[in-house]
Every structure is written in C-alpha cells, then in structure tokens.
Structure 1
Amino acid sequence: MLAQQGILTEADGDCVAVERPHGKGSFFIICEHASRRLPELFGDLGLTSEALSSHIAWDPGALSVARHISANLDSTLVYQRFSRLIYDCNRPPESPAAMPETSEIYAIPGNRDLKDTERRERTEALYLPFHDRIRALLADRSARGQATMIVTIHSFTPVYLGKSRAVELGILHDEDSRMADRMLSAAAKAPVYRTERNEPYGPKDGVTHTLKLHGIANGLHNVMIEVRNDLIVDEVSQRVMADYLSGLIQQSLDA
C-alpha cells in the first residue's frame, strides 16, 4: 500500500507510531509534529540542513516530553513519524498550511506549486492513516468503556519573526475549555512557568484541528499544550517539564 501511494517506500516504514496502545490511563497523548524526518522520495525539499533542523520542520523536544508524560500516566501515545513540511497533520487537507510553501522566514521549494494529485498523494499517505489510526484506537477504548481525555503536545520557538515570546507554557483549547480551565487553575496555584491561555497560538490560527476532529466531535475532554522549546533542550529538562505537565494533567482529571 505504501508503495502504491507513491510517497513512502518500504524503507520509510509507516507514517504513524503508537506506544502503550493498551495503557490503562485515561489520557490519550498525540504528538503531530514529533519528527523532522523526510521521506526519502523528497530529498531535502530544497532546504538547508539548518532549516531542516529548525522548528519549521518539527517541534523540538515535544516527542520526548510526550513520551515521558505517556510513561508517567500509563497513557497511549500516537505520533507522526515524518516532518510537518511534507504534511502538517494538525491541519485539514484544504488548508494551505497543511503543505506550506513558506514557513516563518523560509521558502520551501519542494512545496511550491503542488499539483492536486501531489497534494492528494500526501494526504492519502500521511494525514489519513495518522488520523484513521487515532480513530481506531479511540473506538477501541470506547468499546471497552475506557475513559479518554485527549492531550496534544507541541513546542514553540522563543523568537518568532524577530519577536521574543515571554510566555513559557500555552494551554490551548477551542470551544471546549473544560480541561484547559482546570489545568490553568492548577498552574496558577503553582506558577512555576509563565502560563497563558491560547498563547502563543489559538483557534484563530487554525491549530486546534486535532482537538476538534477527535475531541470535540466525540464529546471528549481535550487540550493542547505548547512548551517553549528553550525549556526542553535536553533529556533532563524534558523530563522535568514532563513531570510538571503530568501533574497538571492529572489534576485536571482529579478535579
């Protein structure tokens, strides 16, 4: 099937990875921007190694934080194995941001003037299998009567378009703010990091696609967490952040 899609080879492997599929925890962790890896068919998309290692290609540190949270809370983790430059799985197929021609200061030559067939191939190879796997896992949990609260993990750069960002943690939500409200309340009681609602992005920026698709559509409590990436640069800082976030997430359930 992968070869027929024309995007992923057998060497590339599957686009989606699942860890702790039978985790007993109530939380379901998703990391859409876990990897900077490109399928071998695409080479470097015409980008420098500096660009491909930067935040435009992935969310640095997010996967490690997500993995530690998954372990702390015995919760299933699903993540995308390829760069958002090929397809951003937190965007619907009709969004220009799903396969961006530019990102911050970088033009992306390999994404310029994509044909409808090329966009469809990427959607079928990366977006659909990723979200279909999530749907299947959620359906299985529902059939078993397992409670589910969706948590997506992201990171953001401390400087964007030349502007510094003071916020350190963002707790994001769309129309369903139940889980975000409880986490923000818990964070205010132990203000270790500067934490803000719907910052540095929010629903108006189109970043709540996964929450709407799997959380709101199914009536599940859901939240998106954004961590400033200079706070999670190594294993120690990633574990510290994961432990703090695990506490906030658990308090949202206990509340």
Structure 2
Amino acid sequence: MLVGVDVLSKAEGSCVAVERPDGRSPVFVVCEHASNLLPSRYGNLGLSDEALSSHIAWDPGALAIARGLSASLDATLVSQRFSRLIYDCNRPPESPGAMPELSEIYEIPGNRGLSTAEREARTRALYIPFHDRIETLVKERAARGQPTVLVTIHSFTPVYNGKPRAVELGILHDEDAWLADRMLAAAAEAPLYRTERNEPYGPKDGVTHTLKLHGIANGLYNVMIEVRNDLIVDEVSQGVMADYLSGLIRTSLDA
C-alpha cells in the first residue's frame, strides 16, 4: 500500500517533537509512544475509534508524565508525534512489532501484508528521523560537556489478555542496571506505588531498543519507566506521578 508516496504530508510536519532542547538537567527524556495520531494517508488503518483510542495505538498518559518530568527537572524531551501503529519507534526495523499486524486482541488491517517498499518508507519517515534527532542532541550535549542520563517513559494497561496486573510502576533496564537499581532502592524508601523490576515487560520482550541504541551503546546511564495507565487518567494523577518519579530520579542521581 502507498508505495511511491510520502508517508507524511508537508502539512503534517516532522515526526519528532523536541521540548526544552537547552534543558540544563543531565536527564534526557524520551517518549516513543506519545501520540495516537495517524498520518492522513492511512485513514484509520481499518480500526474503530475505540481501538485507536486504546493502548494499542499509544501509551495514554505517558506524554503528560514525560512533560511533567521535563518541567520539574529542566530536562530535554523528545517525543514521537505519530502512532506506534504506523511505526513503533521502540522497535528496530527488522522487528515484526515495528509495524504490527496484530496488537493484543486487535488485528490491524492496514498493516497486513506490507511490502518491503512500504516498510522501508515508514522506516525512513518515522524511525530514522526520530532516532537521528536523539543521536544528534546527545552528541551536541557531549560536545558542550553536558552529561546525559537517558529516561524513557511508557504506560501499560491494568489488564492484559484478560489478566489483571498488580504492578503499578515498572523500573526497566537491560544489561546496565545502575540507574534502575538506585530508583528501585529509592522507591522502597518511599513506597507510594507497587514498584517492580522489569515488569510488566523486560528485555526478553524486546522493549529496551531505545535504551540499547542510545544509552548502553554510548555508555550512558539509562532506565525505562512503565506506569500503569489507570493511575494517570487526569491532570491531578499525572502531576502526582510526575512529581514522584522526579523525586526518585533526583534521589538516584544524587546518590
């Protein structure tokens, strides 16, 4: 589908949003699943409004938390402006999950049987610019002597495939657990939420792509934060969560 045409129109602009590019904090916040917006050329991918507002299309509340952290810490924030159903920027191009045909209980008709050309077009339009922008900003920070601590923000559903999830806050890491260890210790001292390591996902689920690509590969401290989305349904609860996470990060970095 759509081979030979642009994935994004000129009117839709860049796939990447950057806030506080000159933020002074070492913390560098990334939100890969910030939006459920679909490029206009793709219509609704054959999905209902209910499906497009659900977790399969984005991480509800994640951008609000990321913005809260950015404001509280004076941290640069990079977010993806389009839905992960078109391209999931926390997956490499070779991953089946990068452009899923099935997500949880939903089939994605508009992603069924994509040609190699279409997959490459989406990769060029969404994945490459997103990660190139992160890479460029991190290099610019290094050039001016500003350290970088990579923090990615996500949310997850309270029920998955019919099974309730007790965990409320997940602190995820791949092979580098330095920051995750400290955040888990800080959370144990201030246990506002049920917090667990590498839950409800972990490296085995392929969710640490951004951490590996920009954090581990560059020797940067890094962590992925997963928040259960029923805990961040409005501005008040989002503000509470952002304040709590800001506190954990500050405590961890001070330590």
Helix, strand or coil at the partner of 2:142: helix
Partner in structure 2 of residue 203 of structure 1: 203
TM-superposition CA deviations, 1:35-92 (whole Å, max 9, x none): 0000000000000000000000000000000001000000000000000000000000
| Paired AA for residue 22 in structure 1 | D
Distance 1:162 1:11 in 2: 40
* Cα distance, 1:32 vs structure 2: 0.1
Aligned 8 A contact 1:5 1:124 in 2: no
Partner in structure 2 of residue 250 of structure 1: 250
Partner in structure 2 of residue 161 of structure 1: 161
What TM-score, normalized to structure 2? 0.98
| Paired AA for residue 78 in structure 1 | V
Partner in structure 1 of residue 27 of structure 2: 27
- Superposed, 1:1-255 pairs within 5 Å as 6-255=6-255
Helix, strand or coil at the partner of 1:201: coil
With over 3 angstroms needed to count, the CA separation of the structure-2 counterparts of 1:146 and 1:5, relative to structure 1, is farther
Helix, strand or coil at the partner of 2:12: coil
* Cα distance, 1:5 vs structure 2: 6.3
- Unmatched 5+ residue regions in structure 2? none
- Unmatched 5+ residue regions in structure 1? none
| Paired AA for residue 36 in structure 1 | N
| Paired AA for residue 88 in structure 1 | D
Distance 2:93 2:53 in 1: 25
Helix, strand or coil at the partner of 2:174: coil
Helix, strand or coil at the partner of 1:249: helix
Q: Which runs of 4+ in 1 moved over 3 A?
A: none
Helix, strand or coil at the partner of 1:11: helix
TM-superposition CA deviations, 1:203-242 (whole Å, max 9, x none): 0000000000000000000000000000000011000000
| Paired AA for residue 98 in structure 1 | A
* Cα distance, 1:165 vs structure 2: 0.1
Identity, % of aligned pairs?
75
